Structures are given as structure tokens and as C-alpha cells.
A and B are shown apart, each in its own frame.
Chain A
Amino acid sequence: MRLLLQMLFVALLTFAGVAHAQAIEPMPFKDHAQELRFQHLTHQLRCPMCQNETLADSNAPIARDLRNQIFQMMQQGRSDEEIKQYLVARYSRFVLYDPPLTPGTWLLWFGPLLILLGGAGVVLVAIRKRSRTGSTATEAPTDNGDDW
């Protein structure tokens, strides 16, 4: 098993090594706007094979193939949505770095808001409690660095 893991590791390493630097790939874009669109889109998509890299930056052969495929589809006039659907249909939602809003991801997208509201409630209560007690006159500075 250990030998297998080592082999796999070496394989990935040499494989990655051989395939390196293919992330740089000039493509015949129609214009700068299309190039920007391509860059933006491929930065939002995840390479299925790599350990957490975008399609734009990955050196894996599958990433290169998918970039070419996306380029072809853009030339054919497909929209960003259609391209994403195409990839999701084949590789699952894994390839989307921007998780779509579905009931499964409500926790993800609304969770921070809920935490914020909860926390804001606590802060409000704390401020209310504090502002009610004690005098409101500013006190004489102490040596606690209160002169500012």
C-alpha cells in the first residue's frame, strides 16, 4: 500500500512536471473583451483533477482540454451559463467555485447573514445594558492610557 502511494505520488509529480507550463496557452480571441470573458470564466471553474486549482491556472491535461472546449463554445456563441451547464452535466457541481444557490447551499449563503444578525442582536443588547447604568460624564484620565 505504501509502495502504491509512493508510486502514485511520483506519478503525479512526474506527470505534473511533464505537463507543466501548458497553462500558458495563447488562443486566437476575437477581441480583448472575449479574452477577458474567457479569463473570468475559467477562473470561476475548478479543475476536476487537481488539488484545488482553477481551470485557468491548472497544468493538467484535462484542464487544457476543457479550456479548449470552452474556447470553442465561446466561438460558437454559447453563453457563460450554457458553458457552465455543459461542464456541470459532465463533471457535477464540483467544477463550480461559485456554489449555486440551491436549498442545499442555503446554509452556506445565508449562514453568515444569520450569524451577523445574531451577533448584532447580542451587541445591541450589550450596548443597551451598558448605556443605562452609571453616569454619563467623562471621567478624569487614569494611568490606563486614558488620555487618548
Chain B
Amino acid sequence: MTPELGQLALILAMLLALAQSVLPLVGAWRGNRALMAVARPAAAGQAVFVAMAFGILAWAFLRFDFSVQYVADNSNLALPWYYRIAAVWGAHEGSLLLWILILNVWTVALAAFSQKLPEVFASRVIAVMGLIAVGFLAFIIFTSNPFGRLLPMPGDGADLNPVLQDPGMTFHPPMLYMGYVGFSVAFAFSIAALLGGELEQAWVRWARPWTNVAWAFLTCGIVAGSWWAYAELGWGGWWFWDPVENASFMPWLVGVALIHAQAVTEKRGSLRAWTILLSIFAFSLSLLGTFLVRSGVLTSVHAFASDPRRGVFILAFLTIVVGGSLLLYALRAPKVLGGKPFKVVSRETALLISNLMFAVAAAMVLLGTLFPLIGDALNLGRISVGPPYFGFLFPLLMLPVVLLLPFGPFLRWGKGDTPVLKQLLLRAGIAAAACAIVAAFFVDGQPKAIAGVAALVWLTVGVLLYALKRWREMPRGRRYPAEMAGMLLAHLGVGVFVAGVLLSESLSVTRDVRMAPGETQHIGNYDFRFDGVHHTTGPNWTADQGVVTVTRNGSETTVMHPQKRTYPRGQVQTESAVDAGVTRDLYVALGEPMDANDIEGAWALRLYYKPFIRWIWAGGLLMMLGGLVCATDKRFRIKRSARAEAGAEVADDLQIQETRA
């Protein structure tokens, strides 16, 4: 009985979403206050029903209701309750339900915090969010219903893929979706601006905190996914340029460009059309990601099961939403160059260049990801594009960004101050070069590692010098506005990230070894002693657990327990043992016993020494923090006067529209 209620809730939610989208748009067009006022209540109603549907599905999992096909496919009696909740979004149908739930979270937040925005504008924004909701709810109801029944009900379910039974995996999709879906807010703002013809800067200021927070969540989601892949999959890697990973990275790259373009438009009034276009691109890439993962068009380890019917549906949705908005852009985007002028040496130029590099990087990732498909279309045979392609071009494109980054804050708007820049170049440059030379001795002259140190110092000194400048020049309380503090944190994060990548890639050591109990291997200053394997059990698995004692210069560092787990359905999963550290990770994965009948004998083990790998995720988290801090800036909170001012404009607009109509 209850799962059908879930289905009903979704249908009601869709009807409310229709109301939420169509009526306020008509109202805004016609100046009808009553219709516009439908937006917020409709949004609230939709949210209630979506939450209900989600809750019903979660409840079905918790109650082991295997009469629901989705529950039977993704859980079983031995699955612990926390993974049963995570199983809600473990496969296609449920993940879409999560998507629409999060869309509602953002919509409700928007409805709540937009009270001070001009009514016409706010109702359009909420209406656009409603349109997106209609599309997704229709997709769920017509092609991907999670509430379908499985009768007769089986005694036990299949299982959640063991690879997903991990805290990282519980955390990663919600964070990622908060980011993906969060870009719909900037998108909705842009569409509302295009529809209303209000192309003044004010709306960009309102959009900025939402965009920053969405981007921060996306950063968090990507970091969580990368860290999870490293910890869980046993191959010691943290990024593979897999199509699904790229699907999350492209919106992130465009998001970076967008954040910076919004800053320019808000403060100087220029790049208005470009900012709007970027908002559309960012959300389009989010939607594109949804399409790629579910349509079967690309081969990926991550992809959900594909189905041409679903693929066609999403493609149609994509065409309407993105095609429609790009058409609207072509018709309504500002054609006249607005805003304050700027010289060649200016912050605007620096941000334009960085925007260019991020946009090209996103295009490059898109090209590489889609090229196998293009190859099929042009009959070039099955071509694979992997890390050698992306890993070569991406750093190349980011090099100008890293070099320019310290100059950004020092450059003034409109016209840069050259002596200041020269001083920065000298100080940061010399510091970077000096540290690079010193580092060369520690890293055996490895060029990547030296570059990593140089980049870290270059970026960090740039940030510190600017922080110092503000400290000296400004009185207390006005030194570090939240927007600037966020920027400094995020830029620091870039330095930490780059250092982590370059150092870990060049200095990592990996060895596959055969070890009998008592034998020792020496890797990267550490001695790994294999102490044998014994059986152990967990809530829904049994395992062979190895014991590896790690010592350094004789004193014990840690004891590691890599496992090979067997799950109820016979799936075998390697749980690597990771000893995390600020300057290095030690990593051990258990292979097979060399003699299959003797688990007390020798085993194959993979040992890794990975210096500075945590810096990769630490850098990402710093960037995320920067985005969040930036969004808290007082300037972004809307004053009462904004509505009153805009109210006057709206009244004029409505009068003009009425005389036209």
C-alpha cells in the first residue's frame, strides 16, 4: 500500500510543479500579482510531496520491503541500516529521486531567502526551478519509477553493490547533487533576467552567494568521490578522467569561470552577456552529466544501467531546457557593451584570461569525453581517450592560470598598478625559485616534484603578500571582507592542490610483492613486515584479514589490516588498508594467496608509498571553504531598499506592458 502512496506523492508533486512554473510565468508576463504569488506556496507544496516520496522509499528500505523491485535489487537482510539508507540513491531510479529532492531543497531555500527580491523577478526564478522539476518528475514517473512492485515478493533481496558500501559513497552523491542542482539557481536567475529584460547588475549580486555555495558543494562532492575511489578501489589512484568523473568536472570548471565572471559583472558592469551564458553552460553541463551517465552513450565503470528510452527522454528534456535557454539568450542577451572600461593591464583582463583558460579546459574535457562517440559517428573505429590525453592537456591549460593567480588580487579594477606587480613578481618569483632549488635535493631532481614545490610557494607567497598588504593598509574590521577572505582561502587551496598532485604523482612508489609471513619489504623509508592472514567477520561479510606491521628506522609506525571481503552474494571486495598522514600515505592491498589452498603461507600484496597525497583533497576542501566563506559576505545580503527600488521599476515595467497589451 505505502509504495503506491509514494507514486501518488510524485504525481501530486509534478502537478504542483506545473503550477509553480506556468502560473507565475504567466503572472510575471501579465503583471498579475495573484498568479505570481502562486510561486512560493506551490514550491512548498511540491517540496512536501517530494520529501514524502523520498521518505516512503527510505522507509521501504528500512523495513526490508522486498515487494518493491528497487529495494529488492539494492539491499538484502544482512545490509546494515545506514547502507540501506544510502541504497536509496544507489541506483538509477533512487538517484533521480535524490536529485529532485535536492532540487526542492534549493527551491525552498530560494523561496525563503528571496522575500526581499522584486516580486516579478523572484516569481520568474522560482518558476524556472519549477520547470526543471516538472521535467525530472515526469522522467521519474514515466520511465524510472522507484516504486514498482516485485510480486511474488522474494524472501531476500540482491545486494547493494559492495563497492558502494562505504561512508564515502554515502556522502559523495548528495554532495555532488547539491552542487549540480545548485547551479540551477544561477541558471534560473539568468533566465529570469533574460525574460524580464532587466539586465542591470543587481541581479548578479543576488545570484553570487547561491552560485558560490553550489560550487562549494560540487567541489566537496568531487573531493569526496576522489577520496572514496582512492580508499576503496585498491588501485591507489584518485582520478581517472572516466566519462562520469568528467561529467562532474566540466560543470566545476565552468563554475569557476562563472564565479569570477559574476564578480566582474557585479562590480564593474561588464561581461553581462558572458556571465549569463556561463550560467546556462554550467547548468547545461550538469544536465548533460545526468544524460551521459544514464543513456549508455558512453562506456564507464560508473554508469547506471542504460536504456534507450530513458536516453531519448533525457535528451528531449535537455534539448528543451538548454536549447530553449540558448535561443532565449540569442534573442534577449545584452547586445551593447556595458560597464566600466578597463586597460590591458587590469584585473578584468586577468579574469578574462582565466575565464578563457577554464572555458577551453571544459571544452577540451568535453571533446575528449565525447570523442569515442564522434569516432563511431565518423566511422573512425573504436577510439579510446584516457588519462594520457587529459592528463597532458589539462595541466598545460592550467599553467597560465597558476602563473597569473597571485597577480589577481594585486591588480586593480580598470587599470593595474605596474610597480606593485613588478614587486610581487620579484618577491614571489624569488621565493619560488629558491624553494625549488632546495627541494631539488630532496626529490632527486624529479622535475614534476620541483614544479610542485615551486607552484606551491609561488601561490602561497602571493596570497600571504596580499594578506599582509591588507593588514598594513586597512584599519581593523575592514581588512578582510568575507568575499576576500574566501578568495584567499580558495587560492591557497589551489596551491595546496597543485603541490599534492605533482608531488604524489612524481614521488609515489608502488610494488607488487610476494611475501611469506615474517618477510619484510622496504619502500620509501618504511619497512613493511607481513605478519600473516587470518579470518574475520563483519555485519554482512566474512574476510581474510592480513596484518602488516610498518616500522621506520626500527620504531613501529603502525599496524595495517588489509582485507579481502566476501559478501553474501559471493562478490569479493578488496578493502585496502590506508595509513593516512599529512606528509604521506601508506597503503596496502591484499591480493591472492600464492598457494590457493594455504592461506597461512605466502600472499601477493601491493604496497604503496604515497607522499603528500592528502594535500590533493585538503586543497579541494580549502577551495570549498573559500567558496562558502565568500558567500557569507554582508554585501550579498539584500537590503530592504533593494525591493523598494526594484518595486518602482517593476511598477513602471508593468505599466509599459499593460499599455502594450
Q: A residues near B, CB below 8 A?
A: 9, 13-14, 16-18, 20-27, 35, 39, 43-44, 46, 50-54, 56-57, 92-99, 104-105, 107-108, 111-112, 115-116, 119-120, 123, 126-127, 129-136, 138-139, 143-148
Contact = CB atoms under 8 A, between A and B. Distances in A.
A129 B511 CA distance: 58
The 10 tightest CB contacts between A and B, nearest first, are: A97-B386, A24-B591, A98-B388, A134-B341, A112-B364, A104-B380, A17-B571, A20-B572, A57-B235, A94-B382
A25 B481 contact: no
11 contacts: A16-B571, A21-B234, A21-B574, A24-B604, A26-B512, A46-B384, A94-B382, A99-B371, A105-B383, A123-B352, A138-B412
Given A25-B604, A97-B385, 11 more contacts: A18-B572, A20-B564, A20-B571, A24-B592, A52-B300, A94-B382, A98-B386, A98-B388, A105-B380, A105-B383, A115-B360
B267 A95 contact: no
A21 B590 contact: yes
Contacts of A147: 474, 478
B385 A93 contact: no
A25 B512 CA distance: 6
B164 to A, nearest CB: 13
A131 B388 contact: no
B242 interface: yes
A6 to B, nearest CB: 10
Contacts of A25: 512, 591, 604
A139 B340 contact: yes
Contact of A148 (B352, B415, B470, B592): B470
Given A17-B572, A39-B510, A148-B409, A111 B337 contact: no
Contacts of B235: 23, 56-57
B397 interface: yes
Contacts of B493: none
A95 to B, nearest CB: 7
A81 to B, nearest CB: 15
Given A23-B235, A51-B299, A115-B363, A123 B353 contact: yes
Contacts of B592: 21-22, 24
A92 B243 CA distance: 21
A108 B381 contact: no
A105 B368 CA distance: 10
B360 A116 contact: yes
A7 to B, nearest CB: 13
B571 A24 contact: no
A35 B635 CA distance: 57
Contacts of A46: 384, 386
B533 to A, nearest CB: 13
Contacts of A96: 384
Contacts of A20: 564, 571-574
A93 to B, nearest CB: 6
Contacts of B242: 52
B421 interface: no
A143 B415 CA distance: 19
B266 to A, nearest CB: 7
A97 B512 CA distance: 23
B384 A94 contact: yes
A24 B591 CA distance: 5
Given A22-B592, A51-B301, A127-B352, A138 B415 contact: yes
B343 interface: yes
B303 interface: yes
A105 B385 CA distance: 10
Contacts of B605: 24
Contact of B513 (A22, A26, A54): A26
Given A93-B383, A112-B360, A52 B243 contact: yes
Given A24-B604, A134-B340, A136-B415, A146 B267 contact: yes
Contacts of A127: 342, 344, 349, 352
B186 to A, nearest CB: 19
A51 B375 CA distance: 18
B517 interface: no
A52 B299 contact: yes
B378 interface: yes
Interface string B169-195: 000000000000000000000000000
Nearest to A102: B380
Most B-side CB within 10 Å, residue of A21, A23, A126, A136: A21
